[in-house]
């Protein structure tokens, strides 16, 4: 294959084209992401703890520990939900493919004397059969996957649940998409920043694609002349689309909310939280 030229990085990606690198797994960026998960001044990688506390209280009401003891948290990040669920006596397994986040989560659990089964792996290769009463997929991670990966993830979750088990997930709504601004921009950073150490240029392409899909692309030009590209895709949903993807995976919808705190869903809600059940 001919070597990739600088200008090739600026070609517009085809819908769902993967970048050579995975944003969450880059050694430098994953450290910045861990800081973002824990940062209480914004909702960057995880929601603020005040919201997470409310979510876990609500989960404890709608899927009480007496009936939904065995929980799997998919894409658990640094373990903010698993810790709180374990404190409410759920028996928690939690998966994330970021070693940095899982290492942090394991040591935080140990410090607090909590027993949580943390696993550093991708939920796309994870396979278990009828182990869990409840699966969680929180903070709109589902919409960041391609249609093929979404299908695979729902199959994996369905197989892992016991009959009567529930899946609770949230996705960004079409209302959220209306706030998305398409734009191209670049910024010169003189020193260490979110994307890189040292002097670097960050080129950003935010673009709306067809059928409720967006791209947030970052092309990073570093001082040593290396170039990196990160494509972050997102699918936005209405009730019909998320319902049909869940039903295709054999789930039955139990109910919808605006968010994982149990607020009422309206057409103005920026997220949709769904509770679905494996009935058969």
Ligand X SMILES: C[S@@+](CC[C@H](N)C(=O)[O-])C[C@H]1O[C@@H](n2cnc3c(N)ncnc32)[C@H](O)[C@@H]1O
- Positions touching ligand X (CB under 6 A) are 24, 37, 45-46, 75-77, 80, 95-98, 101, 122-124, 138-139, 141
d(CA 245, CA 240): 9
CB atoms within 10 A of CB 204: 13
Residue 10 tokens read as 């600026």
| Burial (CB count within 10 angstroms: exposed 0-12, middle 13-18, buried 19+), residue 251 | buried
CB of 199 to ligand X, least distance (A): 28
From the CB of 75, what's the least distance to ligand X, in Å?
Answer: 3
Strand 183-189 and strand 200-209: pairing? antiparallel
Instruction: Indicate the residue among 41 and 191 with the shorter CB distance to ligand X.
Output: 41
Smallest gap from Cβ 192 to ligand X, in A, equals 22
Strands (E), 42-84: 70-74
As measured in angstroms, the least distance from the Cβ of 82 to ligand X is 9
Considering the complex, state which of residue 139 and residue 237 has its C-beta at the smaller distance from ligand X. 139
> CA–CA separation, 141 vs 10, rounded Å?
26
Measured from the CB of residue 220, what is the shortest distance to ligand X in angstroms?
19
Q: Which is nearer to ligand X, 137 or 246 (CB)?
A: 137
Nearer to ligand X, 24 or 154 (CB): 24
Please, are residues 124 and 155 in contact by the beta-carbon 8 Å criterion?
Answer: no
Q: How far is CA 121 from CA 53, 74, 97, 252, in A?
A: 26, 10, 4, 27
Helix (H, G, I), strand (E, B) or coil at 133: strand
Closer by beta carbon to ligand X, 155 or else 189: 155
| Shortest separation between residue 122's beta carbon and ligand X, angstroms | 4
Q: Which is nearer to ligand X, 6 or 124 (CB)?
A: 124
Q: Are strands 132-137 and 161-172 parallel, antiparallel or unpaired?
A: parallel
């Amino acid at each position: 294959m001919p070597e990739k030229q600088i200008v090739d990085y600026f070609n517009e990606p085809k819908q769902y084209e993967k970048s050579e690198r995975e944003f969450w797994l880059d050694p430098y960026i994953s450290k910045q992401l861990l800081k973002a998960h824990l940062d209480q001044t914004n909702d960057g990688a995880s929601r603020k703890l005040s919201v997470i506390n409310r979510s876990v209280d609500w989960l404890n009401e709608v899927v009480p520990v007496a009936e939904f003891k065995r929980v799997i948290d998919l894409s658990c990040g640094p373990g903010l939900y698993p810790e709180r669920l374990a404190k409410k006596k759920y028996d928690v397994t939690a998966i994330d493919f970021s070693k940095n986040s899982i290492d942090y989560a394991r040591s935080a659990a140990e410090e607090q004397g909590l027993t949580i089964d943390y696993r550093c792996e991708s939920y796309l290769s994870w396979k278990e059969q009828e182990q869990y009463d409840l699966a969680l997929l929180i903070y709109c991670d589902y919409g960041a996957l391609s249609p093929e990966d979404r299908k695979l993830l729902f199959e994996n979750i369905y197989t892992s649940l016991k009959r009567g088990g529930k899946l609770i997930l949230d996705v960004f709504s079409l209302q959220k998409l209306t706030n998305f601004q398409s734009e191209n921009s670049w910024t010169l950073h003189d020193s260490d920043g979110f994307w890189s150490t040292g002097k670097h240029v960050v080129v950003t392409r935010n673009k709306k694609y067809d059928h409720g899909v967006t791209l947030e692309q970052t092309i990073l030009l570093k001082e040593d002349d290396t170039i990196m590209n990160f494509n972050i895709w997102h699918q936005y949903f209405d009730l019909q689309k998320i319902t049909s993807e869940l039903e295709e995976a054999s789930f039955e919808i139990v109910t919808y909310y605006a968010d994982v705190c149990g607020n009422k869903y309206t057409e103005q809600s920026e997220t949709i939280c769904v509770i679905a059940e494996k009935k058969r």
